[in-house]
Each structure stands twice: as structure tokens, then as C-alpha cells.
Amino acid sequence: MTEQSDSATALNTGLTSTADSRPLRVNAWNGWDPLRHVIVGRAEGTVVQAPEHAVRRDYPDDGFPLGTYGPMPAEMVAEADEQLDNFAKLLSDRGIRVDRPTPIDFTQQVSTPEWSHDSMFGCMPPRDLLLTVGNEVLEATMSYRSRWFEYLCYRPVLQNLFEGDSKMRWEAAPKPRLTDESFKPGFWDEFNGQSTEEQLARVRNYDLVLTEAEPLFDAADVARFGKDLFVQLSFVTNRSGYDWLKRHFPDHRVHAVTSTNTHPLHIDSTWVPLRPGLVLHCGERLADAELMEFFKLNDWEVIEAVQPASWDHPPKLSFCSPWLAANMLNLDQNTLCIEEKEERLSEQLSSYGFEIVPVPFRAVGPFGGGLHCSTVDIEREGGLEDYFPRRYGRF
């Protein structure tokens, strides 16, 4: 385990607030009901991953050319953790219970009987690993060997929830083998040499880095709209993973979706629920026509997000696109946390009646995402609702 200061340790199981006196309850059916309990990640200990079949990091201008790996620079970690801690306090000050993961030594080599890998990753983006649907918290498979053991960081929080809420369902998808058979050999060299149209065709046909040897999915590829769950097929979620989720949630309608995105990785900056009847989408990653018509037929307004703030100087060591702007957190149907520099997006959504809470968060991006990525809903008020009574096409 990494050493932590007394103040950091105090944040592991929550912040002192009036929220801590409430009984623990796992309940979240969507992303917009009033938020009462959340996990906020940590940047501490994050590393640039060693290369593997599923992902390759290449930052020659930032000191980590392809093939190199190691701890993120200390000054970047300190700045990101300060922003994460301040965000956790902002939520706590609003009466929201906040839990934090427990970092481990992410620089260590990890292995199973079938493979070994030279590094782990971190625990900033809990949204990638954990999915809350109703009273269930589900641990996703993860598709990177470097993230196979990441669930250990969240076990103290989940154990506490399990002991505190007798109705909580604690589930874990089958741990994947992640042998060479789960990945297409030579994918990245071939894919990176193809034209945009060729890449988009591969996305539409789901011909990406993962094979169908076993179910694989990240939780952040699932968008929750009450009775309907939308699962994006991506670099980390395959058709078998979608099929597993469809079987696991038999009382839901579970849909596979794609978009015009050459590098699909998590749905929460592409197709973003705001409140019943209103969804935001990234204009450069258009959803397929059937999905658009399905939403419109059910009286949903689909908003095209304005262009994000210019990244004249992209954050060092970041693998996120400028569309991280849309990676926001709903506190309720009328309140959105948005990165403070995304003023155009804030103005756009203010015109729809939202109160905007600006949050300094740009330093967190290189550690795995934005405000939505860095959190997992544990409790939101409200119950299961059907927001799509009408069918259309494959939906």
C-alpha cells in the first residue's frame, strides 16, 4: 500500500458532513436524480502504463515515448489530487456523502497464471470499473491487463456498503483471462495506418482490438436511462460483453450502440443524459440514425454540444480528447457540475434552465477523465422509470 497523510486517510471512507449520519443505501437508476452518495477517485500513485495488447501510450514530447512507462510526475499528481479533494469537499458541503478509493502500489508488476504485465494504472476513474443499477453495484471486467487488479482499490468502500445496506447487491462480472486470444495481433499498427473512413467502417462493423473470446466491458460504456441501458461497443467493450450485460439485466432493455467516432472509448462524453426528455451528444460523434429517431419518437430532445474550449496546449500526458468537456456530473435534474473553463458549454446548458456549478478540473484529465469519469453514483433519490414507451427499429 502507498502511504497516505492523515487527511487523505480521513477521506477514504467519506468526508465529515451531515450526510454521514444517514443510513447507507445503494440506489441509482439513472444519472440525473438527486445525488446523495458518490465515490470520488484519486490521482495518487497513477502510472503511465506499460504497453500491452489493448493499449499503447506514446508521449515522446512528455518524456514517455512508446515502450516506456512509470509514475506520473509528482507535480501533476499533486495538482490533480488537490482538484479532486476540492471537488469531494464541494459535494460534501452540499450534503452528499463522499467515499474515496484506497490506492495501492500501481508501479508493481502484476500477473495471473497466464500472463504477467509490468505495471498497473491508478484509481482516478472509478466510473470505468463500477456500475450502479438500482441496488446493485457491479464490477466490470476491464479489458487492460494493467487494470485487472484495480478492483482492490474499491473493496474497502464496497465492503462497507455491503455491511451497511442489507438490500445491496454486490456483483462482479466474470474476471477475464485476457490471454492473447482476447486481442487482435498487430491491431494498432494496422488501424493507425488506415484512413478515417476505413477506421469508421471498422467501428460500425465492430472490428476493433478486442476479439469475442470472452465477455469484456468497461462500466463507463453503459449509459443508464431507467429501464433502458445503452452499451457502447468500443476499444474496451465487445459484443460478448454487451451480451453478458443483456443477460445479467433481464428486466432492462439493453441496447448496443456505436457512433461516428474513430476512437470509441466510453460513452459518457458522447451520449450524455441530462434529465428526462433531454440528452446531449457530441456533434463530431453522431449516433446512428435509428438511435436518434428512437429518442425523438419518445419525445426526447437531442442537443448537439457546442465546441469545447480550445486546447491550444493539450494537457501533458493526456489521452483524453477536448470532448472531455461533456464529461459532467448531474447533482439533480436542474444542477450540473461542469469544468470551469468550458464556458460555452455552460452557457448553452444554462439556456435550458440548468444551474451550473463550475469546477476546476483540467489537471485531472491526464489521470483518466473528467467529472463524470472521476465519480460513481452510489445513491440517488428516485426509482425505476420507463422513459421510452415506444419502440423503433432495433430499439
Could you give the residue numbers annotated as active site? 218, 266, 373
Cα atoms in the 13 Å half-sphere on the side-chain side of 320: 28
CA distance readout (Å), 216 to 64, 143, 191, 368 = 28, 6, 20, 19
Residues 345, 338: contact at Cβ < 8 Å? yes
**Dihedral (Cα; 38, 44, 49, 53), 10-degree rounding:** -20
Spacing of C-alpha 303 from chain mean position: 21
Would you say 101 and 41 are in contact if contact means Cβ atoms under 8 Å apart? yes
Q: How far is CA 1 from CA 12, 103, 152, in A?
A: 13, 7, 11
Residues contacting 347, CB < 8 A, separation 6+: none
Helix (H) or strand (E) holding 81: helix 74-93
End-to-end CA distance of the chain: 46
> By the 8 A CB rule, do 92 and 98 touch?
yes
List C-alpha distances in Å: 63 to 7, 31, 76: 31, 38, 14
Q: DSSP of 107-147, one letter per residue?
A: TS-EEETTEEES----BS-GGGTEEEEBTEEEE---S-GGG
Q: Is 228 left (phi over 0), alpha (psi -120 to 50) or beta?
A: beta
Q: What are phi and psi of 151, to 5 degrees?
A: -60, -25
**Lookup result for grid cell 415506444:** 390
Torsions phi, psi of 292, nearest 5? -60, -45
